[in-house]
């Protein structure tokens, strides 16, 4: 317990509390915080749009290669984020498998842009959403869906009016975890999107940069991320306690 708690306690003890309000109001801190909130939220939206149908596919359908697909979905959980950033560059970079086509056809390039930050965050965060929603779908009672289908509801209507309300707590919990993971992403972001203030410098990147030049500023930024993490844990506590019971 001491091994887990002491580092956090050290962060609180060494925090420059007297200058905290002034440091939090500095333009570069506010800009990094704004960019982090915006990109993490956009990444979560992408994960919801793509991840919920993927979770339904894994939970409710049986097809050859489903186990392999589930394993591939969870790869970003164990893949070093820097490796994920390199992989994104090889696919979506200007000379990547898809990126070179995007640039030649549309004049659009993702690396080292704000959109690139969103893509990197979504890549590393989506497994958290898929796992949570898949678990909720497996735990949901399919008899309600079968009853709706026998009454003439289409598959889309059943999914929208029955399935989604049943698994809404799982979707919410997965979305919050996904957002938190996107907010704290560092390795894939700095590799794929770089560290440009006002464009790609999120809070974790700002912490890394400040640690080299101004350690107290790094502590202040770290406190902000710590506070967000604690709020997320408090928000999800009832769900986790209920699941454990």
pLDDT of residue 155: 83
242 pLDDT more than 60: no
What's the average model confidence in pLDDT over 43-54?
94
Residues 193-233: tens digit of each pLDDT = 998 988 999 999 989 888 888 888 888 888 888 888 888 77
Helix axes 203-213, 215-244, angle to 10 degrees: 140
SS3 content of the chain, % helix, strand, coil (to 5): 80, 0, 20
Angle at 39 between CA 32 and CA 232, to 5 degrees: 85
% of the chain beyond a pLDDT of 70: 96
Q: What is the pLDDT of residues 67-119, one digit of tens each?
A: 899 999 999 988 999 999 999 999 998 888 898 888 888 888 889 999 999 99
List, for residues 122-161, the tens digit of each pLDDT value: 999 999 999 999 999 988 888 888 898 888 888 888 888 8
- What mean pLDDT do residues 40-53 have? 95
- Which carries the bigger pLDDT value, residue 18 or residue 40? 40
- Is 207 in contact with 223 (CB distance < 8 Å)? no
Angle at CA of residue 152, ends 147 and 155, nearest 5°: 80
């Amino acid at each position: 317990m001491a091994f887990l708690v002491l580092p956090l306690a050290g962060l609180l003890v060494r925090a420059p509390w007297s200058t905290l309000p002034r440091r939090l109001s500095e333009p570069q801190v506010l800009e990094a915080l704004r960019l982090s909130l915006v990109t993490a939220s956009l990444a979560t939206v992408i994960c919801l749009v793509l991840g919920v149908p993927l979770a339904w596919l894994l939970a409710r359908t049986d097809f050859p290669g489903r186990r392999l697909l589930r394993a591939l979905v969870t790869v970003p959980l164990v893949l070093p984020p820097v490796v994920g950033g390199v992989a994104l560059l090889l696919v979506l970079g200007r000379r990547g498998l898809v990126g070179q086509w995007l640039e030649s056809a549309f004049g659009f390039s993702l690396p080292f842009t704000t959109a690139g930050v969103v893509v990197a965050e979504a890549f590393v965060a989506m497994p958290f959403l898929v796992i949570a929603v898949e678990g909720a779908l497996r735990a949901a009672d399919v008899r309600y869906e079968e009853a709706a289908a026998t009454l003439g509801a289409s598959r889309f209507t059943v999914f929208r009016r029955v399935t989604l309300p049943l698994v809404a707590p799982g979707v919410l919990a997965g979305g919050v975890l996904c957002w938190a993971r996107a907010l704290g992403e560092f390795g894939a972001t700095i590799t794929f999107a770089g560290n440009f203030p006002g464009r790609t410098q999120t809070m974790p990147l700002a912490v890394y940069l400040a640690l080299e030049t101004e350690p107290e500023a790094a502590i202040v930024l770290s406190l902000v991320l710590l506070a967000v993490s604690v709020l997320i844990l408090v928000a999800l506590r009832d769900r986790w306690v209920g699941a454990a019971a």
